[in-house]
Structure 1
Amino acid sequence: MKRLYLVEPVVAIYSFASFMVYPLVQQYVYRRLWQELTNTTYPVVDTSGCANNSSNHSSQYEEVERAASLFSLYIELSSLIPALVVTLLLVAYSDHRGRRLTILSPLVGSLLYTVSLLAICFFELNLYLIVAVSFVSALFGSWGTLLGGCFSYVADVSEDGKQKTQRMAAVDMVIGVLSGAASVSTGYFLRATGFSWPFFTASLLHSANLLYVLFVLEETVKVPESAGVHEGPPRVPMLKLLSGVCRLFASADRRRNALLVLLLLTFTVYSFCDIGTMSLVTLYELSEPLCWNEILIGYGAALSTTSFLTSFAGVALLSHCLPNLPIVLIGLLSIMTGLAMTAFAKTTLLMFLVRVPMALAIMPAPVLRSMMSKIASKSEQGALFACVAFLQTLSTSVAFITFSSLYAVTVAWFPGFCFLVAAGLCLIPMALMGVVGVLGSSEAVETEALISGEEMDGQHATPPPRLRNKGNSSSSGASA
């Protein structure tokens, strides 16, 4: 059977299954805590609004919201350290032993996680088992691990800088579209069948994804057979992996390193502000004065994913007439405006309209990844995306912990305060991109670094056949 160089189906299936589970876990925890803290059945409503709430009922909402926020904090803390370590090691390891292992491992962890959630829900086991399951599944890697492997894979098979940017934007778009579809279906699925069937469906999807990676997806990093004979089993992988990450910075000049550090910091703070606040949206929508039900939450999440489509279109169009720096700045301004508007959204209509100013909020992610990828050689792609995935996982986890704690403290007097804080922090990546512009012609630095990196490349990724047929002319003609 002929294998394919298409990693997008892996991202699509994983996104659908994962974004089906994320809001389900929050809502399941919220309902279980409601029953435990109030000794009453969770109030299922057909429309949004809290018109029937008495002042006592309102205080119950605040108590449950605070407990649910802290429980989410425990889940995040339990998975943070193992996810960070595994992400850094596995994605860097892909430079030496292939990308598929980096993609397979988090799929196994996700399958274990969803099966365990199904058991907890079906048998009504102790709620705190979710915390333990989160820790165990994180030992196999996280969402950041899979994305690090997939973006390294995309970098391997891309012909030039423009294709790399557009294909990475396409991967982000796939994540958005499928997560939106999952969010819409989850609300109806939950109302029709309860929690067990959605968890079971997610388990089936992760199983199908595993089969695709095992039997269909082609490897891009070819390991010489002689390497396995002489080296034997990987005895000291950590030293080798850490040295690869160090060489990412040691093998280049100061100007390139300064540019890379600035881009990494920009991406980290952007992830902190954008992805870190997404985890609070469901709790914000469940609370007063919105009090959304599962159907409205699904529609809201689906509408949010239109920003992935509009951001992809924005990257595709703006990359023809603008350099990378203003594209990133436009995206940062979009997320900043949307977060500020979210803080004051008190009606269903206004909460839906929040998605309009955030139409281009995803643009910085693929552009920054592409800019960083273009200043690293082929043999450094895994080490680079290991750093990117590590920092993204760290920043989003710290953001989740920070904003969950802040939300628990401020929910009684101003639930939108967290979003205002995140909007203000967006000024930091804007300033960092300004420094990138001051450094001079970043495009020239990228091209020079890419060419020198290709010349130093020892163990490189094997491109798909259509690229191999072009021979050396493809790599020499690649433009950043």
Structure 2
Amino acid sequence: MKGLYLVEPVVALYAFSTYLCYPLVQQYVYRRLWEDLTNSTDPITSTPCASNSSNQSVYFEEVQRRSSLFSLYTELLSAVPSLAVTLAVVAYSDRGGRKVAIVLPLAGTLAFTLVLLCVSYFRLNVYILVGATLLPALCGGLGTFLGGCFAYVADVSADGRRKTLRMAGLDMMSGLLSGVAALSTGYFLRAAGFNWPFLASAVCQALVLLYAVFVLEETVKRPPADAAHPDEPRRPSALQQMLYGVYRMFARAGRKRRTVLVLLMSIFNSFSFAYFGGASLFVLYELNEPLCWSEILIGYGTAVSTSVFLSSFAGVAAFTYCGTPALLMVLMGVLSVATGMVVMAFSKSTLMIFLARLSMLLSIMPYSVLRAMMSKIVSKSEQGALFACLSFGEVLTANVSVAVFNSVYAATVARHPGLVFLLAAGLCTVPAVLLWVVWVVGVDVADEDSGPGPGPECSQGDKETKEVCEEEAPLLT
């Protein structure tokens, strides 16, 4: 049976299954730490804030501190393996196929969800989850998954406008299904407890894994081994191919194009640092006094946050149709995040929290636009290397930012818990300044030549090298 070239269902179901349990993990850890600290077992429909006892109120700050440190431990433990696997696997997908970068993270996420289900069902030590984060990390995690999916879309998309819209569509699909899942988690938790949402998430992840393995068609065809020429030089290893692919992506670009590529990557990573760092503390902030949100409100809040994927896709589609410059679209997204973080820092009521989230309606738009801009700079055979670098940077900045922001939150929660959001807003000035630098350089990344022409190796190299040079000719001339 011929497979399908549709990676969107994989992204949609992965997002749904992940956000079916992701908002609950922090709540589950929070409640388990509360129970361990107070030696009490609150009913599932209540939160520690529900009690007005002065004896229990002294524990709020300690539970907040322990919860933020728990997140810090998980991020630090999973950071290094996920970074190494992301860079190696996504870059290797240029030769070995995109599906390896999609299937491997799906298997790791399923394994972690099953451990999470066991911890919840059998009431195991909650710190087992810290070690369990190694399972998805060793399989690449979200960075490898997204890198593989975006490289897959780059393979099957022809022109620049279609590529931009389809990449924005992946972000939109992810956010839409995440919002649906997040909206239902509060009701699911109140009706059935933690076990059933975790089980439903595991079942959904198993289904999407089967689709990716047996239905999704591969876009990169491996060349057949030629046994008729035993004297042919040995093919480079996967590690050598990965390193050479990343090196070639920068080495073959012209000076101006290489400068713009580095600047765009810096904008991408600095924006991710500010956005991920601030957003990672939304739920913990809402669980604290004076908000004391219930699981229902947390579900609504997460759904509003994930709706920015839909609004960002609509923004990309509308602004692209109107011919808005790409750099201006990125700037609007950066300003959207900065505004939302400032409002969040001073939010003391439910209405203000929702207004802060609504202020970030265009916060995902920079990711889609920047990915498409950088994808146009490099050749087709270097898409995997590009998205490996992007995923590597995104995972690195996400892990480092979460660790930094959780440390700051643990240190400042007693005096000013909203200080971390002001920090995130201030850091948004970094990508804004870099955008100005790109504008000053004045290079149109869609039309500028991609660097020097092919060297003598294109005419003298082996068959594989000649095929690569022929494929890259439009970009290299």
Counting only pairs closer than 5 Å after superposition, residues 279-290 of structure 1 correspond to structure 2 as 279-290=280-291
Structure 2 match to 1:25? 25
Structure 1 match to 2:418? 416
Counting only pairs closer than 5 Å after superposition, residues 38-77 of structure 1 correspond to structure 2 as 38-42=38-42, 50=49, 53-77=52-76
- Deviation string, structure 1 residues 14-64 (Cα, Å, up to 9, x no partner): 111111222221111111100111112236567x99585344433211111
Counting only pairs closer than 5 Å after superposition, residues 425-440 of structure 1 correspond to structure 2 as 425-440=427-442
Shift of 1:213: 0.9
AA in 2 matched with 1:12 = A
Structure 1 match to 2:85? 86
- Deviation string, structure 1 residues 233-269 (Cα, Å, up to 9, x no partner): 9873212211211111111121111101100010001
Structure 2 match to 1:468? none
CA contact (8 A) 1:105 1:141 kept: yes
Q: 1:252 to 1:443 in 2, by over 3 A?
A: closer
Shift of 1:341: 0.5
Structure 2 match to 1:274? 275
Structure 2 match to 1:317? 318
Q: Take 2:33 and 2:227, find their aligned partners in 1: how far apart are those partners? A: 52
Q: SS of the counterpart of 2:378?
A: coil
Q: 1:351 to 1:49 in 2, by over 3 A?
A: farther
Structure 2 match to 1:369? 371
Q: SS of the counterpart of 1:292?
A: coil
Q: SS of the counterpart of 1:225?
A: coil
Counting only pairs closer than 5 Å after superposition, residues 188-267 of structure 1 correspond to structure 2 as 188-226=187-225, 236-267=237-268
Q: Take 1:227 and 1:58, find their aligned partners in 2: how far apart are those partners? A: 72
TM-score by length of structure 2 reads 0.92
Structure 2 match to 1:347? 349
Structure 2 match to 1:467? none
Shift of 1:437: 0.5
Q: Take 2:391 and 2:425, find their aligned partners in 1: how far apart are those partners? A: 23
Shift of 1:272: 0.8
Counting only pairs closer than 5 Å after superposition, residues 388-467 of structure 1 correspond to structure 2 as 388-443=390-445, 446-449=447-450
Structure 2 match to 1:381? 383
Structure 2 match to 1:100? 99
Q: Take 1:459 and 1:342, find their aligned partners in 2: how far apart are those partners? A: 55
AA in 2 matched with 1:85 = A
AA in 1 matched with 2:243 = L
**Greater CA drift, 125-134 or 151-160:** 125-134
Shift of 1:400: 0.4
Q: 1:458 to 1:352 in 2, by over 3 A?
A: farther
Shift of 1:189: 1.1
Structure 2 match to 1:36? 36
Shift of 1:443: 3.5
Structure 2 match to 1:464? none
Q: 1:233 to 1:78 in 2, by over 3 A?
A: farther
Q: Take 1:45 and 1:101, find their aligned partners in 2: how far apart are those partners? A: 42
Identity of aligned residues (%): 53
Q: 1:325 to 1:289 in 2, by over 3 A?
A: same
Q: Take 1:137 and 1:228, find their aligned partners in 2: how far apart are those partners? A: 37
TM-score by length of structure 1 reads 0.91
Structure 2 match to 1:292? 293
Structure 1 match to 2:461? none
Q: Take 1:459 and 1:376, find their aligned partners in 2: how far apart are those partners? A: 17
Gaps of 5+ in 2: 459-463
Q: 1:259 to 1:138 in 2, by over 3 A?
A: same
CA contact (8 A) 2:81 2:138 kept: yes
CA contact (8 A) 1:262 1:436 kept: yes
Shift of 1:447: 4.5
Shift of 1:409: 0.6
CA contact (8 A) 1:379 1:459 kept: no
Shift of 1:450: 9.0
CA contact (8 A) 1:378 1:460 kept: no
Gaps of 5+ in 1: 462-471
Q: Take 1:338 and 1:459, find their aligned partners in 2: how far apart are those partners? A: 51
Q: Take 1:116 and 1:216, find their aligned partners in 2: how far apart are those partners? A: 27
Q: SS of the counterpart of 2:225?
A: helix
Q: SS of the counterpart of 2:190?
A: helix
Number of aligned residue pairs: 464
Q: Take 1:372 and 1:104, find their aligned partners in 2: how far apart are those partners? A: 25
